[in-house]
Amino acid sequence: MTQLPPEPLVPNNTLITKTPEEGRALAITLARHSIHAMQKEVEVLVAGRPQYARDPMGLIAASHVVAVEFATIAAANNYWR
User: Cα-atom radius of gyration of the chain, to the nearest Å?
Assistant: 14
Interaction between residue 46 and its own copies (CB under 8 A): no
d(CA 8, CA 30): 9
d(CA 58, CA 60): 5
Interaction between residue 72 and its own copies (CB under 8 A): yes
Interaction between residue 61 and its own copies (CB under 8 A): yes
Interaction between residue 53 and its own copies (CB under 8 A): yes
Closest CA to 41 of 74, 75, 3: 3
Interaction between residue 42 and its own copies (CB under 8 A): no
Q: Which of 2, 4, 9, 46 binds its own copies (CB under 8 A)?
A: 9
d(CA 21, CA 73): 11
Q: Which residues of this protein are in contact with its own copies, per CB under 8 A?
A: 8-10, 13-16, 19-21, 23-25, 28, 30-31, 34-35, 37-39, 44, 48-49, 51-72, 74-76, 79-81
